């Protein structure tokens, strides 16, 4: 069925290394994608978004890549820090323009080793 | 500026009892969302409000769940009667308007049904 999913449920990296979190989506009609970070006991926090007319977008230490050909989304975190430890969710908007129809994936837990 | 405020943070009840969650969105945010998050899963939309109007409640189990946003500001989500499977985190989020950018989430209300 249609779903937003993740390749890996957990990811462990060394402090200072770069992290790459992957996400697959199945609906080619999705036109807006968001990455959220969720720390334990807190609500999801917006990290970065990208529209389908782009294939790359950069923020502070984060980059989102979108490959529409293979319906793949990735989040790259440069120089990963202990404070980056959290669960990361990708979300897709399947109906164009309305964030109320965001479909979240199951999440990847990122652990940063000091 | 205050973020999205939810209460209570934690609630433990016995099955068949009623429970209510309250959310105060960010001032000026017209769109309010209630999400359900099961352990290890991404958030799932229950209902979305534009001002006081529920514009998407297709995923709300209406036999036991109800929500209101009478004055278009704060909102209440109610479950009556609660079932064991309702144990989850109930997240409230708000945005300036539909499709206006990122959703801001509250810290959630964790419900445990015994």
> What mean pLDDT value characterizes chain A?
87
The pLDDT tens digits for A13-27 are 999 999 999 999 878
Contact B98 A100 (CB under 8 A): yes
Kindly provide the residue ranges of all beta strands, DSSP E only, lying in chain B, ordered along the sequence.
5-7, 10-13, 19-24, 31-37, 44-50, 53-56, 65-68, 75-79, 88-95, 104-105, 109-113
The pLDDT tens digits for A78-87 are 999 999 999 9
- When scoring A21, A39, A94, A99 by the number of chain B Cβ atoms within 10 A, the one with the most, hence best to mutate, is A99
Query: Going residue by residue through chain B (114 aa), what tens digit of pLDDT does each one get?
Result: 689 999 999 999 999 999 999 999 999 999 999 999 998 889 999 999 999 999 889 899 999 999 999 888 999 999 999 999 999 999 999 988 765 567 899 999 999 999
pLDDT for B35: 95
* B42 → closest Cβ in A42, A45, A107: A107
Which residues in chain A are closer than 8 Å to B105, comparing Cβ atoms?
Answer: 43-45
């Amino acid at each position: 069925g249609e779903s937003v999913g993740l390749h890996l449920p957990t990811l462990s990296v060394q402090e200072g290394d770069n992290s790459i979190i992957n996400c697959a989506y199945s609906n080619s009609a999705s036109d807006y994608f968001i990455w959220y970070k969720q720390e334990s006991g807190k609500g999801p926090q917006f990290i970065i978004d990208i529209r389908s007319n782009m294939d790359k977008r950069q923020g502070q230490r984060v980059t989102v890549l979108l490959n529409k050909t293979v319906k793949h989304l990735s989040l790259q975190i440069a120089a990963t820090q202990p404070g980056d430890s959290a669960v990361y969710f990708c979300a897709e908007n399947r109906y164009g323009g309305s964030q109320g129809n965001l479909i979240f994936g199951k999440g990847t837990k990122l652990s940063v080793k000091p | 500026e205050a973020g999205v405020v939810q209460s209570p943070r934690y609630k433990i009840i016995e099955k068949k009892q009623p429970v209510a969650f309250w959310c105060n969105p960010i001032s000026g945010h017209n769109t309010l969302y209630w999400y359900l998050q099961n352990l290890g899963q991404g958030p799932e939309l229950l209902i979305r409000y534009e001002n006081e109007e529920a514009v998407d409640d297709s995923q709300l189990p209406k036999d036991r769940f109800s929500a209101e946003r009478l004055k278009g500001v704060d909102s209440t989500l109610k479950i009556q009667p609660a079932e064991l499977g309702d144990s989850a985190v109930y997240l409230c989020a708000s945005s300036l308007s539909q499709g206006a950018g990122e959703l801001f989430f509250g810290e959630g209300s964790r419900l445990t049904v015994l």
